[in-house]
Amino acid sequence: DIPISYATQQSNEPITSVVNEFAQRINDNALFTASVDPTENPNEIIVKSASNAAIDLEIVSQSTRLLMINSSSNGATWVALDGTNGYPNYTGYLSLNTLAEGQYRYTISAVNVANCDNGAEPSSVQGIITVENENILEIREGPIVDDYLCNGQSGTLFIDVFDGNTGPLSFFYNSTPVTYEVVGTNQYIINIDNPVETATLEIYNAANCGLSREINIGNGTPLFEFNSVNFLQSGTFLAREDITFIDNSENEYDSFEFVFGDGTQTDVLERNTPEPITHEYAISGTYYVTLRIYNDLGCSEELTKLIKIGKGYSILVPNVFSPNGDIWNNTFRPIFNGLSEIILRVYDAQGGLLYEEAGAEGSDPDKLGLSLRGWEGNKNLPSSPYFIYTITAKTIDDEPVFRDGTFILLQ
Let me know if residue 8 belongs to a domain.
no
Let me know if residue 2 belongs to a domain.
no
DSSP 148: H
Measured between alpha carbons, how far is 294 from 257 in angstroms, rounded to an integer?
A: 9
Residues 6+ apart with CB under 8 A from 137: 161, 162, 163, 164, 166, 169, 203, 205, 209, 210, 211
Please indicate, yes or no, whether residues 285 and 390 belong to a single structural domain of this protein. no
Amino acid at 177: P
Q: Which of 410, 381, 402, 411 is nearest to 317 (CA)?
A: 402
Strand partners, 201: 173, 213
φ and ψ of 37, to 5 deg: -100, 100
Please indicate, yes or no, whether residues 179 and 99 belong to a single structural domain of this protein. no
Let me know if residue 143 belongs to a domain.
yes
Give me the CATH number covering residue 368: 2.60.40
Please indicate, yes or no, whether residues 296 and 391 belong to a single structural domain of this protein. no
Please indicate, yes or no, whether residues 55 and 100 belong to a single structural domain of this protein. yes
Tell me which H or E stretch contains 17.
Answer: helix 15-27
Please indicate, yes or no, whether residues 100 and 145 belong to a single structural domain of this protein. no
Please indicate, yes or no, whether residues 303 and 330 belong to a single structural domain of this protein. no
Please indicate, yes or no, whether residues 277 and 371 belong to a single structural domain of this protein. no
Measured between alpha carbons, how far is 82 from 283 in angstroms, rounded to an integer?
A: 95
**If you count DSSP H runs as helices and E runs as strands, how many of each does the chain have, helices first?**
3, 30
Q: Total domain count for the chain?
A: 4
Measured between alpha carbons, how far is 29 from 37 in angstroms, rounded to an integer?
A: 19
> In 10 A of CB 105, how many CB atoms?
8
Q: Please say which residue of 281, 309, 337 terminates a domain.
A: 309
> In 10 A of CB 231, how many CB atoms?
16
Let me know if residue 204 belongs to a domain.
yes
Q: Please say which residue of 161, 182, 216 terminates a domain.
A: 216
Please indicate, yes or no, whether residues 26 and 89 belong to a single structural domain of this protein. yes
- Measured at the alpha carbon of residue 364, what is the angle toward residues 361 and 365, in degrees to the nearest 5? 90
Let me know if residue 4 belongs to a domain.
no
HSE value, Cβ hemisphere, 13 Å, CA-based, for 396:
17
| Full domain range(s) for residue 193 | 138-216
Measured between alpha carbons, how far is 161 from 236 in angstroms, rounded to an integer?
A: 53
Let me know if residue 152 belongs to a domain.
yes
Give me the CATH number covering residue 178: 2.60.40.10
Helix, strand or coil, per DSSP, at residue 300: strand
Measured between alpha carbons, how far is 160 from 151 in angstroms, rounded to an integer?
A: 23
Let me know if residue 10 belongs to a domain.
no
pLDDT in tens, the chain (411 residues): 677 877 776 767 788 888 888 888 888 888 888 888 888 788 888 888 877 776 766 666 554 444 444 444 444 445 555 666 666 666 666 667 667 777 888 777 766 667 766 667 777 788 888 776 666 788 999 899 999 999 889 999 999 999 888 889 999 999 999 999 999 999 999 999 999 988 999 999 988 888 999 998 888 999 999 999 999 998 999 999 999 999 999 988 999 999 999 999 999 999 988 888 999 999 999 999 999 999 988 899 999 999 999 998 999 999 998 887 777 778 899 999 889 999 999 999 999 999 999 999 888 887 878 899 999 887 777 788 999 999 999 998 889 999 999 999 887
What's the pTM?
A: 0.56
Q: Please say which residue of 216, 243, 271 terminates a domain.
A: 216
Please indicate, yes or no, whether residues 278 and 292 belong to a single structural domain of this protein. yes
HSE value, Cβ hemisphere, 13 Å, CA-based, for 204:
14
Question: Is the CB of residue 54 less than 8 Å from the CB of residue 29?
Answer: no
